[in-house]
Amino acid sequence: MCGLNGIYNIRKLNNASDLISKMNLASQHRGPDYSGVYSDEQIVLGHNRLSIIDLQPSSHQPFVSNDGNLVLVFNGEIYNYLEIKKILKDYDFKTNSDTEVIIAAYQKWGKACVNHFNGMFAFAIWDKAKQNLFIARDRLGIKPLYYYDNFEQFAFSSEMRSLLTLPFIEKKINEDALVDYLSYATVHAPRTIVNGIQMLMPGHYLELNEDGIKTTQYWNINIHYNSASINQSYDEVKTKTKELLMKSVERRLVADVSFGVFLSGGIDSSALVACMSKVTEKPIKTFSITFDESEFSEAKYAQMIADKYQTEHTEIRLKPEDFLKDLPEAIKSMDHPSMDGPNSYIVSKATKNAGVTMALSGLGGDEIFGGYDIFKRSMKLLDKKWVMSFPVMFRKAFGSVLKITKPGIASDKIYKTLTSKYLELPYYYPINREIMDEKTLHKTLTFHDYPENSVHEILQNGIGVGALGAKVPFLSRVSFAEINTYMQNVLLRDTDQMSMAHALEVRVPFLDHELVEYIYGVNDDYKYPSTPKKLLVESLGDLLPDEIVNRPKMGFTLPWEVWMKNELKSYCKEGLDFLKNTKSFEERAIDDIWLKFLSGSSKVTWSRVWHLVVLGHWLKENNIEA
């Protein structure tokens, strides 16, 4: 895992080498093992290396092809690089790295090389002869790629903070992105919170030369999903699911450094340990974050799996106070503001301190196998479309009564759902994920020209009526919603930025694209989670104990509300006060939200304040004008 940086069209820049060095320095935490720079008359490329595969200096980057024409900077891992290497017999390999395989693959297949890669990646290749820059990002958006284009210079990086070191980028908030952030506690790609900085979308590549920029989508789950299961029995589907998961885990065990697996004792992490036990003879190292407080601790479930598979198990015991102590540093380490980031920061820090450089994570299991309540709720709503046959005035009346008799966030969301245009996923799902509604937005912001709801837009374009995904199984459409909103724009971004803050690589076997493509095509009857993640659990059979399958879902539940009213009160006030002094926020509205939270209002929970606190501190830390 690494960090890449670059600036194209540097002819008008007198200090391009100094600029790329500053970018490298800003992202050095991503790759502390080596920093390198390449420059010519047109481009400068920078790279920070975290050595995972082939630790030799010959694999340092920027990496130059044998003929000296291609220059590569790369972040991520290509898990099938040894398979590809066998095909590329004409290339004279000098290293044992996946980095050189990318160069060789591009030399043979050009931009089509991305179709051959199984992995997580963001990379840039400069072709000196053609004066062409090629940038690509993996199918599911596991690795980030940010870029900025002012029609003179084009700059790109693994982190937004590296781009913010450049003098030609104005540090100003993107108002459309601000609306998105307040609504969902994140900004959905391609936007970012900073004006002018964008993300290359997952499954896309970009080409840049003197003719301009062209962006192409090379992978779309609604086109590339595997329909083989249509003619398969349930037993055949289970067998294939197990085979693909085993293969995914095996691929992700290739490393030349110490590694382990995050083990919470839940279904997903336990499934990974079970699969590892079948595909490797090496001792399995498992790491669990545990708490002294029994209500937070999952230690007994993790220990159960550790005992079953005789892993080298390490409990990293934390107290809630440990989170409090590291919280300010966690927010300073955020590359992009996020409500959930601090949790990932603390866990990554503790794991790295335990001597691990690479870890497997169960991220993606819920989205692929229907682990969230939204999957069941959405199926139930399919049977209630008759409600929409009632005139809207009756639906409004019922919703209003509910809001009066049971005031709170849940009733407000039911009211919005009942009065929406259609009882379809692109309409009710955005309400389900919403943190701040439009009425509160109008009170909170000084401007009122808002973009289309980003979540609705993603879903309408992807799985709405007439879209390619409209005909896939219904539960796969719910997976599409989860993957393309919360997973990509919160979970994956947080995992990357917070693990790389400690130079820890995290691999996610459930997001192997071959596994995702297959499960996406499985019908609802086989996939419906009548029991927790039915298809996953039944595919693995007795590899998972009943106590793990039927245990309560816990996660990292921490007493945020209590902290924010006590130990974190002054910290919260500081973040909110910063927002009050910007031109984008209404001072009285921020005060009103804070006072309602302190008074225990059912409509202002801790999460509806915390994302504002984080934003205030992040904007202040990064000197962003709002």
Catalytic positions are 2
Overall size of the chain counted in residues: 626
- Residue 130 CB: number of other CB atoms within 10 A? 11
Q: What is the C-alpha separation between 206 and 134, in angstroms, rounded? A: 6
Q: What values do phi and psi take at 526, rounded to 5?
A: -75, -25
Q: What is the C-alpha separation between 5 and 27, in angstroms, rounded? A: 9
Q: What is the C-alpha separation between 403 and 396, in angstroms, rounded? A: 10
Q: On the CB side of 42, how many CA atoms lie within 13 Å of its CA? A: 12
Q: What is the C-alpha separation between 447 and 449, in angstroms, rounded? A: 6
Q: What is the C-alpha separation between 131 and 209, in angstroms, rounded? A: 6
Letter string b/e over residues 147-166, b meaning 16 or more CB atoms within 10 A of that residue's CB: bbbeeebbbbbbbbbbbbbb
> How does strand 154-157 pair with strand 2-8?
antiparallel
DSSP conformational letter for 552: P
Q: What values do phi and psi take at 283, rounded to 5?
A: -60, 135
- Residue 376 CB: number of other CB atoms within 10 A? 15
> How does strand 197-199 pair with strand 259-262?
unpaired
Tokens matching residue 254: 């290739």
Q: In what order do the strands lie in the sheet with 204-209?
A: 63-64, 70-78, 119-127, 132-137, 204-209, 212-217
Tokens matching residue 523: 């019908």
Contacts of 74 (CB under 8 A, 6+ apart): 2, 4, 47, 61, 63, 99, 102, 121, 122, 123, 124
Tokens matching residue 453: 């709801």
* Collapsed DSSP state (helix, strand, coil) of residue 606: coil
Q: On the CB side of 301, how many CA atoms lie within 13 Å of its CA? A: 29
* Collapsed DSSP state (helix, strand, coil) of residue 145: coil
Q: What is the C-alpha separation between 354 and 348, in angstroms, rounded? A: 10
* Prior bond of 190 cis (ω within 30°): yes
Q: What is the C-alpha separation between 462 and 100, in angstroms, rounded? A: 35
